Amino acid sequence: MTTTPAPDQLVIAIDGPSGSGKSSVSRAVARALGVGFLDTGSMYRALTWWCLEQGTDLSDVAAVAQASRDLPLQIGTDPDAPTTAVGGHNVDAAIRESRISEAVSQVATNLDVRADMLQRQRALIADTAARTGGVVAEGRDITTVVAPDADVRVLLTASEEARLARRSKELHGDAGSASVEATRAQVVQRDARDSTVSQFTVAADGVTTVDTSDLDFDQSVAAVLDVVAARGERV
Ligand SMILES: Nc1ncnc2c1ncn2[C@@H]1O[C@H](COP(=O)(O)OP(=O)(O)OP(=O)(O)O)[C@@H](O)[C@H]1O
Ligand SMILES: Nc1ccn([C@H]2C[C@H](O)[C@@H](COP(=O)(O)O)O2)c(=O)n1
């Protein structure tokens, strides 16, 4: 199995903090370009779900690392219908439950898990790019660790207030500022924990920052497509 995409395949790496719009914007960019889409966060979520299903203690670093190596994970990278399954069981809805969001950092900060996921993600990127001509892969360490040689590397950011408002609206609808406060602890604490193993708040060398604080969704997609169109023009 190869883990290196061919030179004629377009690999786009997108990182950013929670609620910046990585998943939704990356998916729309992949659709616009007619290439595959890889949501790497769903892989950490699937492992968390599987550990909880099996009664694996998330604080047992060795047991969680072994679970990662054993995980029978299937990822579908069609941007029109991305899927996550474990042992043939679709977990798309289950991995978005708040019990998973609250626990996933404990799994994602396990360094042995990250080493295993790195290999899986590189293989998925190469396989998807070979099948569709390219891939948009998003997460926290794609621009820096998983695909540092990607053709296009973007850090998608937004102010904390904008990210909280978006996440709050997604979870609670237009319920007002109280839900923003309720969301704050969840989002900010998760980013703080995840930041201990990945750098996704400051762009690494060669990574283009796209700040979406004052952009709507379509404008954010267009801004990333502009970066893609401008590739090769930079010195
Ligand atoms: N520019 C934007 N303007 C307004 N809403 C946006 C924008 N970009 C994304 N959204 C909305 O914000 C919400 C969060 O987006 P998304 O789930 O893509 O973020 P994320 O960065 O992948 O978060 P996480 O890492 O926590 O999964 C979604 O409801 C999405 O539709
Ligand atoms: N490349 C990645 C992708 C995700 N994570 C962590 C960060 C989150 O706590 C968790 C779920 O990600 P989300 O679905 O919210 O984007 O996985 C990571 O460490 N590295």
Determine which residue's CA is closest to atom 4 belonging to ligand 2: 41
| pLDDT one-digit tens code per residue, 175-191 | 556 567 778 877 898 99
Q: How far is the CA of 225 from the centre of ligand 1 (A)?
A: 17
CA distance 117 to 123: 10
Q: How far is the CA of 2 from the centre of ligand 1 (A)?
A: 32
Torsional sign, CA 123, 143, 210, 95: positive
| pLDDT one-digit tens code per residue, 36-90 | 999 999 999 999 999 999 999 999 999 999 999 999 999 999 999 999 999 999 9
Task: Give the model's pLDDT for residue 32.
Answer: 98
| pLDDT one-digit tens code per residue, 104-142 | 999 999 999 999 999 999 999 999 999 999 999 999 999
CB 187 within 8 A of CB 19: yes
Determine which residue's CA is closest to atom 17 belonging to ligand 2: 41
Q: Which residues line ligand 1 (CB under 6 A)?
A: 16, 18-25, 41, 166-167, 170, 212, 215-217, 220
Task: Give the model's pLDDT for residue 31.
Answer: 98
Q: How far is the CA of 105 from the centre of ligand 2 (A)?
A: 7
- Helix then strand then coil, in percent of the chain rounded to 5, is 50, 15, 35
Would the pLDDT of 192 be above 70? yes
Computed over every residue of the chain, the mean pLDDT equals 94
Task: Give the model's pLDDT for residue 183.
Answer: 81
21 is in an annotated binding site: yes
Q: How far is the CA of 104 from the centre of ligand 2 (A)?
A: 8
Name the residue among 191, 177, 233, 178 with its Cα closest to residue 208.
Answer: 233
Would the pLDDT of 233 be above 70? no
Would the pLDDT of 157 be above 80? yes
Ligand closest to the CA atom of residue 211 = 1
Kindly list the structural domains of the chain, giving each domain's residue range(s) and its CATH number in brackets, ordered by start: 11-226 (3.40.50.300)
Give me the mean pLDDT over the 209-222 stretch.
98
Task: Give the model's pLDDT for residue 175.
Answer: 58
Task: Give the model's pLDDT for residue 8.
Answer: 87
Pocket test for ligand 1, best of 39, 96, 217 (most atoms within 8 A of CB): 217
Task: Give the model's pLDDT for residue 235.
Answer: 38
* Alpha helix (H) residue ranges in 94-216: 98-108, 111-132, 160-172, 177-194
